[in-house]
Amino acid sequence: MKENILIIGGGAAGMEAATQLQKLGLNPIIVEKSEKLGGHIAQWDRLFPAFHPAKDVVDQMLDNVKGVDVRLNTQVTDIQRDNNGFKANLNNGEIIDAKAVVLATGFDLFKAERKQEYGYGIYNNVITSLELEKFFRTGKDERINNPKKIGFVHCVGARDVKVGNTYCSKVCCTTALKQACEMKEVFPDAEVYTFYMDLRMFGPGYEDLYLKTQKDYDVKCIRGRVCEVSEDMDGRLVIKAEDTLFGKPLRMTLDLLVLMCSMEKNKSIEAIQQKLGIANNSDGFMQNKDMYLGMNDSKQDGVFVAGTCTAPKSLPDTIGEARSVAVEVFNYINNK
């Protein structure tokens, strides 16, 4: 009989891990709390750096997990170790026995309203990066009315002790530039500004995207964090920042402000995480065994981690980890 592997989370990491585990002859079971697979990436329109449709990737992944045992709208309510491995209770009353557990629980998007000074939820024309992706997908958002001036704020909820997140969320810089270009495509007459602290173009083709953003799309990148947003008489946004490269404070009026919300640890999994004895790292994400050779191992035997549950990651990083976790699990089962 094939060994059961419990995968918690049906996003990119969970689906890819399941795909590979199935190929390796094991029986992965995905438990996904929402009504469909795909996770955050399914809410995305196009992917950086080459504007590749996210749907293509998600559809391919969905195709790959056909035949995998998937429980949607389901959550693990309790999990215990027994002689055979793990016994997990699901909220639908089902009990799953599994030899190993893969935590692919992903991330929560930082709640933009927590950065009160940006006025998300208070000013009409402040939206989040996720909402902008939805606009790209559906073409609908009543707050986006042919804006003439658009601003992007990087590091919302990242690199900021004031919200308790000191880490870099890794993907927001590239996402901001990608979205800035896309806005220029939708609104060619608009002036687009991005406000960054550092531009971290860490991956292949990302620096080219940056160059393209500047040269072809005429997006203006200003080094400085937006510190204050207000509304003027006409309901337009007045922002203040420092142009740190110029060494002067700067203010301008915008029609739309997009907040690049960072990744935070998925809090809904905390109870199960505690039951499994997985600690958090200093950034509040799940701690893996070590960051070099044990990145997929937790400190607990038989419990593995993959994807953004341990740190902010890009999609290729996540898929890479999901594949490597499959090998780790396979070796673990075979050596038992």
Partner 1 sequence: MIIEGKQKIWADYQKDIPDDHYFYVRSCIRQAFWPGSEVTFLDITRNKLGKDIYENPYHTTCGGIAYHSDTIPQETAMTIIARQFALMHESGYENYVCSCITSFGCYTETLETWHEYPELEAKIRQYLWDSCKKEFAKPKYLAHASDLIYKFRFDIAKQMKFPLVNVKTGKPLKCVEHIGCHYSKMFPSKGFGGAEYPHVLVGMIEAWGGEVVDYPERRHCCGFGFRQYFVQANRGYSESNTYKKFESMEPYEPDLIITNCPGCPYFLDRWQYVIAEQTGKTYGKNGYGIPALTYEEVAGLVMGYDPWDLGLQMHQVAIEPLLEKMGIPYDPKKKYQGVNGKDLGQPMCPSCIKSV
Partner 2 sequence: MDFGFCLSPSSHVKIDSVDLTTFNHLKETNPDVNTCIACGSCTATCTAGNFTEMSFRRILLMLQRGKEAEAKKLIQHCMFCGKCTLVCPRGINIRKILLDITR
Q: How far is the CB of 241 from partner 2 (least distance, A)?
A: 10
Which residue, 117 or 208, is less far from partner 1 as judged by CB? 117
**Cα separations (Å) of 182 from 28, 51, 72, 232, 234?**
38, 9, 33, 27, 26
> Under a CB-based contact definition with an 8 Å cutoff, are residues 309 and 9 in contact?
yes
Does residue number 164 form part of the binding site for partner 1 (CB under 8 A)?
Answer: no
> Under a CB-based contact definition with an 8 Å cutoff, are residues 64 and 51 in contact?
no
> Could you say which of partner 2, partner 1, none residue 233 binds, taking C-beta under 5 to 8 angstroms by partner kind?
partner 1
> Could you say which of partner 1, partner 2, none residue 230 binds, taking C-beta under 5 to 8 angstroms by partner kind?
partner 1
> Under a CB-based contact definition with an 8 Å cutoff, are residues 29 and 101 in contact?
no
Return d(Cα 219, Cα 185) in angstroms, integer.
11
- Shortest CA distance to 45 belongs to which of 179, 212, 187? 179
Does residue number 119 form part of the binding site for partner 1 (CB under 8 A)?
Answer: yes
Does residue number 249 form part of the binding site for partner 1 (CB under 8 A)?
Answer: no
Return d(Cα 225, Cα 201) in angstroms, integer.
18
> Could you say which of partner 1, partner 2, none residue 327 binds, taking C-beta under 5 to 8 angstroms by partner kind?
none
Among 69, 108, 191, 231, binds partner 1 (CB under 8 A): 231
Task: Name the segment binding partner 1 (CB under 8 A); options: 1-9, 66-74, 112-120, 296-304.
Answer: 112-120
Which residue, 125 or 288, is less far from partner 1 as judged by CB? 125
Residues in Cβ contact with 161 at an 8 Å cutoff, skipping those fewer than 6 apart: none
> Could you say which of partner 1, partner 2, none residue 122 binds, taking C-beta under 5 to 8 angstroms by partner kind?
partner 1
- Shortest CA distance to 239 belongs to which of 207, 281, 195? 195
Does residue number 142 form part of the binding site for partner 1 (CB under 8 A)?
Answer: no
Binding site for partner 1 (CB under 8 A): 113, 116-117, 119-124, 228, 230-233, 235, 238
